[in-house]
Amino acid sequence: MTNTPSQDDALILDSLERFLARDVKPYVRELEHDDVYPAEMVEQMKALGLFGATIPEEYEGLGLSTTLYAQIVERVSAVWMSLSGIFNSHLIMAAAVSRFGTEEQKRTWLPRFASGELRGGLALTEPDCGTDLQAIRTTAVREGSHYVINGTKTWISNGIHGHIFALLVKTDPTAEPRHRGMSLFLAEKGPGFIVGRKLEKLGYKGIDSAELVFEDYAVPADRLIGGEEGLGLKHALGGLELGRINIAARGVGIARVALEESVAYAQVRKTFGKPIAEHQAIQIMLADMATRVEAGRLLVQSAAAAYDRGERCDMEAGMAKLFASEAAVTNSLDAMRIHGGYGYSKEFNLERYYRDAPLLCIGEGTNELQRILIARQLIERNPVA
Ligand SMILES: Cc1cc2nc3c(=O)[nH]c(=O)nc-3n(C[C@H](O)[C@H](O)[C@H](O)COP(=O)(O)OP(=O)(O)OC[C@H]3O[C@@H](n4cnc5c(N)ncnc54)[C@H](O)[C@@H]3O)c2cc1C
């Protein structure tokens, strides 16, 4: 790491490394290939406090800085990216409550999120829209002390095994601008909250991605995050800054492990009488891979530090997400090239990195969208007049 962790941080990272080496690494390949939810690991993650990692201590979380959290996500993802997804989107939901919720909501929900008793994620995407979130069609209509919700969400991580979701809806579908009619609710599973299909994926296996259907689902009005209608998009996107730092840290994890395995392999695999690490074509690939890892990590650290200082960091988080996710894709492919035929084998981990990495270019805002947001910020922060 470029950062030297404090003593407390080092202890946390040490116990995480032990958990990953002893309880995760030996089992990943089988669970991943069979697409099995890692229920036992989830129990161990609860015990480690991971479901409360970034929840403030006053609400019974660990209250870790985003900077340390990003290092945790990098380490977990270097072993199995899916495992990070189980607590990442849960913590984005928690961030929406801790940043924008009422005091009562924080006291009611955050301790139960922190212990992992209630786990969940973020339900924004719909079958007809993901990037253009203002086009969502799920509606919430106020009826006395409740809102009645109807609509469908898709691709929701933790949709099957999770219990509660930050759910983006339209409380006023006719509002202009459209975001003024959007609200974010905490939606706990119950009558009218129907878990639809489990979605089959190229990678990111083990963690469940599901369609969620809401049919006259009644949610008490006090589950409206912040207690005021019309702020849902802001609340959802505020959580996504942390989400983008998450994704970027995952990218660094995959890019780094692909590099490490390549550096090791290149020294033992021989062609034409010498280790392939002595061929310049391989050296150039290794050098580029290592540079991507370092650059990605620095971008993550810079965005995380800005987030920790409470500064606006959508551009910084977007840059980190864009760069590190592309680094993961490129490094996993380069690692496959370096490993030759073995890189394509299901007996090695590389094929998993190669299947997992592209998701990072799509989730928490596609990389095309990140470029648009970065450019907008560049212009907004540097006006000519
Ligand atoms: C495994 C997985 C897990 C996920 N988990 C969750 C989750 O937990 N919660 C959740 O809410 N969602 C989740 N998603 C959904 C994800 O966030 C969306 O897939 C993503 O936001 C893109 O939306 P879309 O798929 O509708 O693509 P679209 O929005 O239809 O985009 C299609 C293409 O058009 C491009 N595009 C769109 N608009 C523009 C523009 N203005 N300019 C240039 N290009 C543009 C996009 O970049 C993309 O290349 C998950 C997705 C996957 C695959």
Q: Is residue 155 lining ligand 1, measured as CB closer than 6 Å? A: yes
What's the confidence (pLDDT) of residue 8? 87
pLDDT digits (tens, 9 = 90+) for 286-296: 999 999 999 99
pLDDT of 343 higher than 80? yes
What's the confidence (pLDDT) of residue 241? 85
How far, in Å, are 159, 179, 201, 220, 227 from residue 137 at the CA level? 19, 12, 25, 20, 21
Q: Taking all residues of the chain, what is their mean pLDDT, rounded to a whole number?
A: 96
Structural domains of the chain, with CATH = 7-115 (1.10.540.10), 120-229 (2.40.110.10), 234-381 (1.20.140.10)
Q: Is residue 57 lining ligand 1, measured as CB closer than 6 Å? A: no
- Give 328's pLDDT tier (boundaries 50, 70, 90): very high
| Token pair listed for 90 | 């849960």
**Strand ranges in the chain using DSSP code E only, listed in sequence order:** 120-123, 139-143, 146-157, 164-170, 182-188, 193-198, 209-220, 270-271, 274-275
pLDDT of 312 higher than 70? yes
pLDDT of 240 higher than 90? no
What's the confidence (pLDDT) of residue 2? 45
Among 35, 212, 362, say which to mutate for ligand 1: greatest number of ligand atoms within 8 Å of CB. Answer: 362
What's the confidence (pLDDT) of residue 385? 77
- Give 7's pLDDT tier (boundaries 50, 70, 90): confident
pLDDT of 1 higher than 80? no
- Tell me the C-alpha distance between 255 and 78, whole Å: 8
pLDDT of 5 higher than 80? no
Q: Is residue 135 lining ligand 1, measured as CB closer than 6 Å? A: no
pLDDT of 71 higher than 70? yes
What's the confidence (pLDDT) of residue 4? 64
The SS3 assignment for 250 reads helix
**The one catalytic residue among 200, 316, 364, 380:** 364
pLDDT digits (tens, 9 = 90+) for 137-172: 999 999 999 999 999 999 999 999 999 999 999 999
Are 297 and 74 in contact by the 8 Å Cβ rule? The answer is yes
How far, in Å, are 47, 293, 335 from residue 300 at the CA level? 27, 11, 22
Q: Read out DSSP for 92-145?
A: HHHHHHHHHS-HHHHHHHHHHHHHTSS-EEEE--BTTBSS-GGG---EEEEETT
Are 306 and 313 in contact by the 8 Å Cβ rule? The answer is yes
- Give 3's pLDDT tier (boundaries 50, 70, 90): low
Q: What is the pLDDT averaged over residues 347-366? A: 96
Q: Is residue 152 lining ligand 1, measured as CB closer than 6 Å? A: no
pLDDT of 237 higher than 90? no
pLDDT digits (tens, 9 = 90+) for 198-212: 999 999 999 999 999
364 an active-site residue? yes
